[in-house]
Amino acid sequence: MTFSSFGRDMNLTMEVICRELFLHNRESIKIQKEETAVRNLVKILDAALRLCNEKGFASMSLRDLSREADLSLGAMYSYFSSKDDLLRLMQGQCRSMVLRALESGIEGFYDPRMRLRRLIQAHLYSSEILQPWFYMSYMETRSFPKDEYSLAIEAELFTEKTLVDIMLEGQASGLFKPVNAGLLGAVTKAMLQDWYLKRWKYSKRKITVQNYCDFVLDFIESYLLFTAEA
Amino acid sequence: MTFSSFGRDMNLTMEVICRELFLHNRESIKIQKEETAVRNLVKILDAALRLCNEKGFASMSLRDLSREADLSLGAMYSYFSSKDDLLRLMQGQCRSMVLRALESGIEGFYDPRMRLRRLIQAHLYSSEILQPWFYMSYMETRSFPKDEYSLAIEAELFTEKTLVDIMLEGQASGLFKPVNAGLLGAVTKAMLQDWYLKRWKYSKRKITVQNYCDFVLDFIESYLLFTAEA
DNA sequence: CTTTTTAGAACGAGCGTTCGTTTTTATTTT
DNA sequence: AAAATAAAAACGAACGCTCGTTCTAAAAAG
């Protein structure tokens, strides 16, 4: 699975995300016409993610957002009922789409080594495309309202558990070495997260998601696989 | 080097940090008597770090801080001249003491394998003791005032470069395998950071800093060292 | 003309910061 | 040893400003 084939298969564009968001929230969104709504939701979400990445959700004022999205305060309140509601909209839609991408990444694969590769690829590629959302989710989790907080933690632990389960499968079938799978899963998650948390560093060094992915896979597999290599 | 021996050698207690802080900032601090000043600085910094970890620096109001530190607003302003100044005080003092701890960790060691071990230990142990400060620094860096931002980035890159340099030394001397040292340094930093960023997760799983440290060292050395093992 | 969408002034709450006052501590005088 | 005074530290109401949110009127669309 290459990054560009992943990009083609999953459709993680803002346009698509905002259209789904609109269709799933017609009751709460006060705008009727789909095209108008989608166009403005894209402007709002793009601007919100940009501002959240710069200064954080709490420090992003709705006046900043209004300026950046090129919509008045009143107009924006036709799309969400409060600042927290805006957060809920972004979280709900993006989380479900990323989860879908991860699941369909490993779907139909049964060899532990292949499943591990594909899960790591799917995670890195998703976060490459939706980096601002991943970054925002990571940095803001602690200040989310209670329900969103739980969902975010749950999602983090779910991905980690999936990693660990694949490792345990591989160990059970004698394919992987009996190393500490729990800790290996945890630090693998940390490496996956570093890709979207330190994007500035990796871009400056001209390291692509493909480079990073290959390295992480080699690093982990060297530790897990029995040495057939030199 | 064990965690407890490290704790004994470096003196990273709040009491010590605040006393140094006071002595280095006598001009700007409006309180004369050392004992009074140190006692209250400890209250202020402890409370500030606690609140910053809960809700972030921007969302911590000075009224919150005043309540938690059990000091009036006016009294607190005898110790710093603005909210940003409070940040600068915490950053300056803690950063220099952590840097000192890292440097004296590898001082006097010349074998690359030993240097790598000791640097990783010193980093994990420091962040175990000053976890709230490490966490705050990581999460708030992007919203620091310009000068503090640069210093924080510089410190992050310095630690990473030190890791990479040790790896390159080891490779040059034929002790380590010729893997991608730049990327290995980057993901090593990510693993070190995960220890203070996800403390809640590791405490819940009853994983100690010693466990984590041993695992990370084993993981990295397996990748770097030529296989003398099974 | 009716409906949908946008604009931006207005409001109360909470922010960082200031400052005149009170309380506590230390020193001097009786 | 007690009282008086001076110095140091702590207090918290008040100020100007920005925040999230509401609301009415204007503009645009059909």
Cβ contact A182:A196 at 8 Å: no
| B229 part of a folded domain | no
DSSP A45-68: HHHHHHHHHHH-TTT--HHHHHHH
Task: Give the domain CATH number at A101.
Answer: 1.10.357.10
- Report the residue from B143, B212, B216 with minimal CB separation from A56: B143
| Backbone torsions φ then ψ of B176, nearest 5 degrees | -105, 155
DSSP B50-64: HHHHHH-TTT--HHH
Going residue by residue through chain B (230 aa), what tens digit of pLDDT does each one get? 999 999 999 999 999 999 999 999 999 999 999 999 999 999 999 999 999 999 999 999 999 999 999 999 999 999 999 999 999 999 999 999 999 999 999 999 999 999 999 999 999 999 999 999 999 999 999 999 999 999 999 999 999 999 999 999 999 999 999 999 999 999 999 999 999 999 999 999 999 999 999 999 999 999 999 986 44
**Eight-class DSSP state of B68:** H
Residue B227, pLDDT score: 80
Residue type at B59 in one-letter notation:
S
| A131 part of a folded domain | yes
3-state secondary structure B104-129: HHHCCCCCHHHHHHHHHHHHHHHHHH
Residue B228, pLDDT score: 61
CA A92 to each of CA A79, A140, A148, A151, B205: distance values in angstroms, whole numbers, following the listed order: 15, 14, 9, 9, 28
DSSP A73-99: HHHHTTT-SSHHHHHHHHHHHHHHHHH
Residue A227, pLDDT score: 80
| Residue B115 exposure: Cα atoms within 13 Å on the Cβ side | 19
Cβ-defined contact of A198 to B184 (cutoff 8 Å): no
Cβ contact A189:A159 at 8 Å: yes
Domain of B13? Answer: 3-224
**Eight-class DSSP state of A208:** -
In window 42-101 of A, residues with CB < 7 A from nucleic chain D are: 60-64, 73-74, 77, 81-84
Q: Which two tokens stand for residue A164?
A: 């660990």
Cβ-defined contact of A191 to B193 (cutoff 8 Å): no
pLDDT in tens, A75-114: 999 999 999 999 999 999 999 999 999 999 999 999 999 9
Name all contacts of B66-69 with Cβ < 8 Å and 24+ positions apart: B69/B40, B69/B43, B69/B44
| B151 part of a folded domain | yes
Residue type at B8 in one-letter notation:
R
Q: How many domains does chain B have?
A: 1
Whether the beta carbon of A61 falls within 7 A of nucleic chain C: the reply is no
- Compute the average pLDDT of residues A3-13: 95
Residue B230, pLDDT score: 43
At a CB cut-off of 8 Å and minimum separation 6, what does A67 contact?
Answer: none
| B230 part of a folded domain | no
Cβ-defined contact of B222 to A222 (cutoff 8 Å): yes
Residue type at A81 in one-letter notation:
S
- Report the residue from A186, A194, A223 with minimal CB separation from B222: A223
Q: How far apart are CA A77 and CA A21, in angstroms?
A: 16
Tell me: pLDDT of A179 over 60: yes
Cβ-defined contact of B187 to A216 (cutoff 8 Å): yes
User: Distance from B116 to chain A by nearest Cα, in Å?
Assistant: 17
| A229 part of a folded domain | no
Q: How far apart are CA B126 and CA B99, in angstroms?
A: 10
- Compute the average pLDDT of residues A134-145: 97
Task: Give the percent of chain A with pLDDT over 90.
Answer: 98
Question: Using a CB-CB distance cutoff of 8 angstroms, which residues of chain B are in contact with residue A207?
Answer: 183
- Report the residue from A54, A186, A223 with minimal CB separation from B194: A186
Q: How far apart are CA A101 and CA A119, in angstroms?
A: 10
| A41 part of a folded domain | yes
Cβ contact A80:A89 at 8 Å: yes
CA to C1' distance (Å), from A75 to D29: 16
| B200 part of a folded domain | yes
Q: Which two tokens stand for residue B225?
A: 């060292």
Residue nearest to nucleotide D10 (CA to C1'): B75
Q: How far apart are CA B73 and CA B77, in angstroms?
A: 6
Q: Which two tokens stand for residue A18?
A: 């905002």
User: Distance from B120 to chain A by nearest Cα, in Å?
Assistant: 15
- With CA atoms as reference, report the closest residue to A98 among A47, A155, A39: A155
